[in-house]
Amino acid sequence: MTILVYTFAGIALIGVLGFLGRRGPTVDLAEWTVGGRRFGTMTMWFLQAGEVFTTFTFLGLAGLAFSGGVAAMYALPYVPIAYVFLFFLARRVWSLGKARGYLTQGDFLEDRYGSRLLGTVGAVIGVVFVLPYLQLQVTGLGLIVKLVSGNATSGTLSMIIGCVLVIAFVLWSGLRGVAVTSYFKDAIMLIVLGVLIFAVPAHFAGGISAMFHKVAQLHPSALTIHTGPNDLTWFVTSMLSSAIGVAFLTLPHNWPAIMSAKDPKVLRRNYTWLPLYELCLMFPMVIGFAAIVVLPKSTNSNGVLLTLSQHALPTWATGIVVVAAIATAMVPAAGILVGISSLVARNIVRVRNERGQFWVNQGTVVVACGLALLLGIYRPDLLANLLLLTFSGLAQLAPANGIGFLRRRLVGKWPVLAGIVVGIAVVIYLTFAATTMFGTFNVGLIGLAANLIVLAVGAVIERLTGNAPVPDPPAVTNAVAEIELAA
């Protein structure tokens, strides 16, 4: 009962914080989506870090360490590796966005290739592949409450209340609401993980070092990458595929956060320091290793962090752990909603006037979150299948984005579009029809190879038929160059 009180108080608190983010009434989509491009280092830090720490990192990484041992470490390097790339790219992307008024990935593709069709296709891919990720946060919230209360009804109720509050504060405050809740989420998550990383190993094994010595003695294979579903091929290809996805900004909800920076120095500073923050990913992994020593192999891997917390901590402290876990579901869900709704309003529905665009955006927030909630309650497995496609599918936008970042136009819209279509078709085929064809090799990378081959062949045909892409008009190039120089 005490934990349920904490749970619903936590959900309400996150909702209230989201409402506090609002700076005043607005029907301006740029103000709502990217905070008027005025966010400084601190806000950007929590927005960018907030995208990294979701229910997957909090509960899923502990579960992955429990089931696959050090294979969970694949999640540590890919974001810092991508940050190296983004560190050098930040000024270019931000300047393009500022000069050309981008709010979304679809805006970028449409403008760089001079194609509304490509902008719409990019937006549709973004929405379709990110919707399962939104549902993952919603069902994650329900799972957390169900695990700690042992009651399915409480889980469903928490999903409904959580979704209503997320919709309400996102509509009211936009990205500013996400930023304020991100402060809270990261603060409580760090405190909780900081306590758990010492309390759990101390309680069950006499300390972190003693616990790992026990793992080395009883389960030495957990300390190496071994054969099975999480083998070396899986480790390396998953790491590379995820790094490509992050480095080329293929996740649509990354765009509003980057476009909201007041200047590219803010982004660059954060890309410099965020690799240190990534070290926190190892905290839930340590809890997962403790679970290897303590819990039977048949335990639900996603619940190991909460199960061990309940055993090692007093009830009130477990309540705080639950609030932190709920925050890792609600806050990323809010950020994803901002990304989805702006794509629909700007690049799919395409209402001409600004006011109409804003209301389409607001309607999409309600529909997208409502859909994720309904599917989460009634058909939790439907989107779970699509989730397999989220990262592999979105990675197919990497070549389009990568070429779009360049100053020179190398290819036109058709080769890029053909590459995306073939890449996604390959990913869908390998995910659902030929699941064992390439073993544990990441299907996103195979799709990407097919995508690049088609793109290259298309580019050659383009040149041979005299349809080489037209360079940007000098006025556009100069406007971007001026902003880049000033930044």
Residues that bind other proteins (CB under 8 A): 70, 73, 76-77, 80-81, 83-84, 87-88, 208-210, 212-213, 216, 220-221, 223-225, 232, 235-236, 239-240, 268, 271-273, 275-276, 278-279, 282, 285, 289
CA–CA separation, 245 vs 393, rounded Å? 10
Alpha-helical runs (H) found in 344-442? 354-378, 380-394, 398-405, 413-428
- Cα maximum dimension of the chain: 73
CA–CA separation, 59 vs 49, rounded Å? 17
Measured from the CB of residue 157, what is the shortest distance to other proteins in angstroms? 38
Q: Are 237 and 443 spatial neighbours (Cβ–Cβ below 8 Å)?
A: no
Measuring CA to CA, which residue among 301, 272, 348, 384 is closest to residue 68? 301
* C-beta of 291 vs 329, nearer to other proteins: 291
Measured from the CB of residue 279, what is the shortest distance to other proteins in angstroms? 6
Measured from the CB of residue 270, what is the shortest distance to other proteins in angstroms? 11
Q: Are 171 and 337 spatial neighbours (Cβ–Cβ below 8 Å)?
A: no
* C-beta of 179 vs 247, nearer to other proteins: 247
Measured from the CB of residue 216, what is the shortest distance to other proteins in angstroms? 6
* C-beta of 16 vs 81, nearer to other proteins: 81
List Cβ neighbours of 25 (8 Å cut-off, separation of 6 or more).
Answer: none
List Cβ neighbours of 227 (8 Å cut-off, separation of 6 or more).
Answer: none
List Cβ neighbours of 50 (8 Å cut-off, separation of 6 or more).
Answer: 178, 182, 185, 186, 331, 332, 335
CA–CA separation, 202 vs 461, rounded Å? 65
Q: Are 182 and 35 spatial neighbours (Cβ–Cβ below 8 Å)?
A: no
Q: Which two tokens stand for residue 289?
A: 């290793």
Measured from the CB of residue 14, what is the shortest distance to other proteins in angstroms? 29
Q: Is 220 exposed, middle or buried (0-12, 13-18, 19+ CB in 10 A)?
A: exposed
CA–CA separation, 248 vs 433, rounded Å? 28
* C-beta of 273 vs 316, nearer to other proteins: 273
Q: Are 427 and 392 spatial neighbours (Cβ–Cβ below 8 Å)?
A: yes
* C-beta of 39 vs 271, nearer to other proteins: 271
* C-beta of 272 vs 300, nearer to other proteins: 272
Measured from the CB of residue 259, what is the shortest distance to other proteins in angstroms? 22
Measured from the CB of residue 446, what is the shortest distance to other proteins in angstroms? 19
472 DSSP assignment:
P
Query: Number of helices and strands (H, E) in the chain?
Result: 23, 0
* C-beta of 213 vs 407, nearer to other proteins: 213
Measured from the CB of residue 244, what is the shortest distance to other proteins in angstroms? 12
CA–CA separation, 162 vs 155, rounded Å? 10
- Say how many C-beta atoms besides its own lie within 10 A of residue 418's C-beta: 16
Measured from the CB of residue 427, what is the shortest distance to other proteins in angstroms? 23
List Cβ neighbours of 169 (8 Å cut-off, separation of 6 or more).
Answer: 15, 17, 18, 19, 21, 177, 181, 334
* C-beta of 112 vs 268, nearer to other proteins: 268
Measured from the CB of residue 233, what is the shortest distance to other proteins in angstroms? 10
Alpha-carbon separation of residue 127 from 220, 252, 255, 472 (angstroms): 42, 8, 13, 28
Measuring CA to CA, which residue among 374, 457, 376 is closest to residue 414? 457
Measured from the CB of residue 184, what is the shortest distance to other proteins in angstroms? 25
Q: Which two tokens stand for residue 303?
A: 């619940």
* C-beta of 58 vs 235, nearer to other proteins: 235
Q: Which two tokens stand for residue 49?
A: 């870090």
* C-beta of 322 vs 445, nearer to other proteins: 445
List Cβ neighbours of 365 (8 Å cut-off, separation of 6 or more).
Answer: 167, 170, 171, 337, 341
* Single-letter residue type at 246: V
* C-beta of 286 vs 295, nearer to other proteins: 286
Measured from the CB of residue 305, what is the shortest distance to other proteins in angstroms? 17
* C-beta of 29 vs 287, nearer to other proteins: 287
Measured from the CB of residue 197, what is the shortest distance to other proteins in angstroms? 12
* C-beta of 228 vs 471, nearer to other proteins: 228
